[in-house]
Amino acid sequence: MILSNLKFGENVVIHPSTHFNNVSFGNNVKIAKECTIQGSAHHIVKIGAGTIFGMYVTLDGSQADIELGENVSIAQHNVIVSNWGLTENSAINTLFDKKAAPIRIGDHSWIGSGCVIAPGVTIGKCSIVASNSYVDTDVPDFTVVGGNPARFIRNIDPAEVGINK
């Protein structure tokens, strides 16, 4: 693999078994083992300062942008893809409204283990996605969702997390 379009902030720690290309890392980012973070020349994956990844996380932003805010926690075994990866001539393509679309995850959000985040989803700041959830619609700021498909569980009062709205 030819590495390209890489930008590193200060104190970025990436396990040697992780594969990445076309990524901009903020300061104090930590990436665990066996992760794959892939953008493209036209879609640089942006990872905000203070963000951490657990093991075996896949981020595929090769067809549309993926942007993670600051202090985002991504637990292990997550799949975050901005395209479904279907072959161009498959009849199944007619079933998908969004073949490729940007994904955004807001500051201070937490994605529990084993989640799938679909193309075109925005997860608001200070939000939580419960483990083993499939998220195919936007999640507002200060919201907890979970399930398959992910559904509203509760709101988070900004005072609970020490943030002024």
What's the CATH number where 35 sits? 2.160.10.10
Q: Does 160 reside within a domain?
A: no
CB 110 within 8 A of CB 123: no
What sign has the CA pseudo-torsion 40, 118, 162, 158? Answer: positive
pLDDT tier at 88, thresholds 50, 70, 90: confident
Long-range contacts of 91-100 (CB under 8 A, 24+ apart): 99/63, 100/63, 100/64
109-144 as b/e, with b when 16 or more CB fall inside 10 Å?
bbbbbbbbbbbbbbbbbbbbbbeebbbeeebebbbb
Q: Does 151 reside within a domain?
A: no
Q: Which helix (H) or strand (E) holds 120?
A: none
Quote the domain boundaries for residue 26: 6-85+93-144
Q: Does 79 reside within a domain?
A: yes
For the stretch 113-145, pLDDT in tens is 999 999 999 999 999 999 999 999 999 999 999
Residue 108: pLDDT above 80? Answer: yes
Q: Does 115 reside within a domain?
A: yes
The residue assigned the tokens 């997390």 is 161
Q: Does 109 reside within a domain?
A: yes
pLDDT tier at 2, thresholds 50, 70, 90: low
pLDDT tier at 87, thresholds 50, 70, 90: confident
For the chain, how long is the longest CA-to-CA vector? 50
At 84 the pLDDT is 79
Q: Does 41 reside within a domain?
A: yes
| 152 or 161, greater pLDDT | 152
Residue 90: pLDDT above 90? Answer: no
> For residue 74, which phi and psi values (nearest 5 degrees)?
-115, 110
Q: Does 164 reside within a domain?
A: no
- Supply the mean pLDDT for the chain: 93
The tally of domains found in the chain comes to 1
Residue 17: pLDDT above 90? Answer: yes
| 53 or 91, greater pLDDT | 53
Q: Return the number of other C-beta atoms located less than 10 Å from residue 164's C-beta.
A: 5
Q: Does 150 reside within a domain?
A: no
Q: How far apart are CA 163 and CA 145, in angstroms?
A: 20
Please compute Rg for the chain using Cα positions: 15
At 156 the pLDDT is 95
